[in-house]
Chain A
Amino acid sequence: MSARASTPGTGAPGSGTPADPEPIIEVRGLRKYYPVRGGVFGRQRGQVRAVEEVSLDLHRGETLGLVGESGCGKSTLGRTLMRLEEPTAGDVLYEGRDLAHASSRELFALRRNVQMIFQDPYSSLNPRITVGETVREPLDVHRLGTEEERRQRVDELLVAVGLSPEAKNRYPHEFSGGQRQRVGVARSLALDPKVIVADEPVSALDVSVQGQVLNLMVRFQRELGLTYLFISHDLSVVEYISDRVAIMYLGRLVEVGSTEQIFQRPSHPYTRALMEAVPVADPRRRRQTTPIRGETPSAVNPPEGCAFHPRCPFASEACHQSVPVLRPAGGDEGHRAACLRLDEMPATR
């Protein structure tokens, strides 16, 4: 395969197909635990249960927003799914092939199809190499195309993300945060992947610049038929870019559904609390709601039963004991929530 694969904005109009329910990535019972060591001998004292029994499908051509607050395990889930971290248990299938247990050689080939965009454009780019080398590196690693083809591909990618080809000779510090994230996007596209895991890609950017990167990502998805796993704590960004949304709390998925289902008819008490907590940029709509109490507990000693029960205004005795699993919510197709008291929940809005 040549290095001159499809470049957004220069080729024929892309497929532009809406999300196809066929899964491109299937996550099954994924767990990721980290040992907690301590004492003089560094003995294991416990474990952080960062990801706990997560099953999730990523449909071809969709954007799945993965939302949660700090420490909920969303980044670990993204990294484990790409096998930047070894899973403790569970499977990740990419087009039916097992990524979680693939040999390093198989993994190398599979990785071409699944790329990542990182949060902080200030630290994710190597400051000592030029922007051109950064974008080109994946092509070199995968030995794609001739020297000349790689050079051309770099130029095309830089132009596609709105930079000039001359940018390739400059260093990251010469660019603003928004421009650096464009470089991150260009690099992620170099291998013409099918799936991009974007971990808080606009969180470090000013709001007037955030839109530039979001618009680019949306355009590339339309033109190249990309599938995104979009990890973010920012609900407004997630609502904008996602077709479906998964809400995570303390290592587990608590609600999954279409963007409309999650934002218009949230079922899980945690999802509702999140929605209510987002500040509204309208001084005439100040909220009088009482915020939910407490903060996310530690994943080393997660609460028994439903992990959200200590903060939940609806928790009953049963919630202290049994762990709820995802089940149909709101009577809509594809909408699921993990709450024991789902049927007793008052209607939203």
Chain B
Amino acid sequence: MALLAVEGLRTVFETEDGVVQAVDGVSFEVEEGRTLGIVGESGCGKSVSAMSVMRLVPEPPGRIEAGAVNWKGRDLLALDADEMPQIRGAEIAMIFQDPMTSLNPVFTIRKQMGEVLEKRYGLEGQEADARMVEMLEHVGIADAPERLSQYPHELSGGMKQRVMIAMALMCRPDLLIADEPTTALDVTVQLQILHLMKELQREYNTAIILITHDMGVVAETCDDVVVMYAGKVVESCDIFRLFEQTRHPYTRGLLDSILQPGKSKGEAVPTIEGVVPSLLDPPSGCRFADRCAQARDRCRLHDPPLAELTEGHKVACHFPLEISP
């Protein structure tokens, strides 16, 4: 059984111009101890999906309209607001692209980490300090005792992300949701952080949802993948089938537009022409139809459902690509 199962999630945002259908009928599952990548380009709804799972969508203007988030036999969307904090942080933790989303600039690292330890475990003083130092060293921070008295701005970008990971893992969550955790980091530091996340996953058997726009990061770290486009899931399967048995034309386009090593400007880069449709008034048919080379009338009229083509491989397309032998 899946650790987390999201079913038919629908999240909208009220704006001056109308209602934005940011996430429209999204379903996916995360297995224990595995890493699920949610990939897609800006505005596809990948972050809003994660925020919805955590019940962190600001309401208003946001609103979760439909769906269920099954977690250990409970529907997180049906919980009372005061029950959620017991799950958030303790059972499901989240880290963000910008560590300053979660770190308070006016408090020392000791104060921020200590708050969690005191609340959850009643740890204070030297005992708490020892635990914090242990966690910081575990995520590869040198001079951990000195770091405790520092403020976030005194740490480098990679170091802040390490502190975030240490805090996220302090309560041994079963699931870590990481929203573009390495996007703001240098490539050499990105590799350090990705390695760290995988190491800790092996150690604690934590499941990870990794939200990213970077297919390279997905290929390096994920076991399973969900590809999103304009608020919907268009394809989901394991990492190997995504790259080797691609069925959705959007996924294909995305993979083709990656600049592979050795390619030079002698050959043009394949691109996906056109732009993402407005989610204020999304097309009634397939949302990718306007940019899809093989779209037919049916695609413009009827929205294709996410269907399981082969076991564990779901695709939302009326005319899925054939698998090349």
Which residues of A approach B to under 8 Å, CB–CB?
Answer: 63, 69-70, 176-179, 206-212, 214-215, 218, 233, 235-237, 239-241, 259, 263, 273-274, 276-287, 289-293, 295-296
B118 at the interface (CB under 8 A from A): no
Look across to chain B and name the residue whose beta carbon is closest to the beta carbon of A259.
B264
Which residues of B approach A to under 8 Å, CB–CB?
Answer: 41-42, 156-159, 186-192, 194-195, 213-220, 239-240, 242-243, 253-255, 257-265, 268-273, 275-276
Interface majority SS on A: helix, strand, loop or mixed?
helix
Residues of B within 8 A of A282 (CB): 219, 243
Instruction: Give CA–CA (A317, B206) in the complex, Å.
Output: 42
Contact of B255 among A210, A273, A281 (CB under 8 A): A281
* A to B CB contacts below 8 Å, 26 in the list: A63-B265, A70-B186, A206-B42, A207-B41, A207-B254, A208-B253, A209-B271, A210-B269, A211-B270, A212-B273, A218-B268, A233-B187, A236-B258, A236-B259, A240-B269, A280-B220, A281-B243, A282-B243, A283-B220, A283-B239, A283-B240, A283-B242, A289-B191, A290-B195, A292-B188, A295-B156
Is B265 within 8 A of A241, CB to CB?
Answer: yes
Is A291 within 8 A of B253, CB to CB?
Answer: no
Instruction: Give CA–CA (A233, B260) in the complex, Å.
Output: 16
Is A263 within 8 A of B261, CB to CB?
Answer: yes
Residues of A within 8 A of B275 (CB): 176, 178-179
Instruction: Give CA–CA (A69, B187) in the complex, Å.
Output: 7
Contact of A295 among B186, B195, B261, B265 (CB under 8 A): B186
Is A208 within 8 A of B219, CB to CB?
Answer: no
Is A277 within 8 A of B190, CB to CB?
Answer: yes
A331 CB to closest chain B CB (Å) equals 22
Is A279 within 8 A of B263, CB to CB?
Answer: no
Look across to chain A and name the residue whose beta carbon is closest to the beta carbon of B255.
A281
Q: With A218-B268, A295-B159 known to touch, is A278 a contact of B216 (CB < 8 Å)?
A: yes
9 closest residue pairs by CB, A with B: A279-B216, A211-B269, A211-B271, A69-B186, A206-B41, A291-B191, A208-B272, A236-B259, A277-B191
B220 CB to closest chain A CB (Å) equals 5
Is A212 within 8 A of B271, CB to CB?
Answer: yes
Residues of A within 8 A of B273 (CB): 212
Is B213 within 8 A of A206, CB to CB?
Answer: yes
Residues of B within 8 A of A214 (CB): 265, 269
Look across to chain B and name the residue whose beta carbon is closest to the beta carbon of A177.
B42
Residues of B within 8 A of A177 (CB): 42
Residues of A within 8 A of B41 (CB): 206-208
Contact of A240 among B159, B187, B264 (CB under 8 A): B264
Look across to chain B and name the residue whose beta carbon is closest to the beta carbon of A239.
B261
Residues of A within 8 A of B157 (CB): 70, 295
Most buried by A among B187, B243, B255, B276: B187
Is B195 within 8 A of A291, CB to CB?
Answer: yes
Instruction: Give CA–CA (A285, B260) in the complex, Å.
Output: 13
Contact of A239 among B156, B189, B220, B259 (CB under 8 A): B259
Residues of B within 8 A of A233 (CB): 186-187
Instruction: Give CA–CA (A235, B214) in the complex, Å.
Output: 14
Is A239 within 8 A of B255, CB to CB?
Answer: no
Is B259 within 8 A of A237, CB to CB?
Answer: yes
Most buried by A among B156, B195, B216, B265: B265
Residues of A within 8 A of B217 (CB): 279
Q: With A206-B42, A208-B272 known to touch, is A235 a contact of B187 (CB < 8 Å)?
A: yes
Residues of A within 8 A of B253 (CB): 208
Is B263 within 8 A of A239, CB to CB?
Answer: yes
Q: With A208-B41, A215-B271 known to touch, is A278 a contact of B187 (CB < 8 Å)?
A: yes
Residues of A within 8 A of B213 (CB): 206-207
Instruction: Give CA–CA (A296, B41) in the complex, Å.
Output: 29
Is B187 within 8 A of A277, CB to CB?
Answer: yes
Most buried by B among A206, A235, A274, A279: A279
Is B263 within 8 A of A240, CB to CB?
Answer: yes
Task: Taking A283-B220, A290-B195 as given, write out 4 further A-B residue pairs in contact, using a Cβ cutoff of 8 Å, ordered by the A residue number.
Answer: A215-B271, A236-B261, A279-B217, A296-B186
Residues of A within 8 A of B271 (CB): 208-212, 215
B18 CB to closest chain A CB (Å) equals 16
Residues of B within 8 A of A280 (CB): 216, 219-220, 261
B282 CB to closest chain A CB (Å) equals 16
Is A281 within 8 A of B269, CB to CB?
Answer: no
Is A281 within 8 A of B240, CB to CB?
Answer: no
Q: With A207-B215, A278-B187 known to touch, is A240 a contact of B265 (CB < 8 Å)?
A: yes
Instruction: Give CA–CA (A278, B42) in the complex, Å.
Output: 21
A251 CB to closest chain B CB (Å) equals 15
Residues of B within 8 A of A63 (CB): 265
Look across to chain A and name the residue whose beta carbon is closest to the beta carbon of B253.
A208
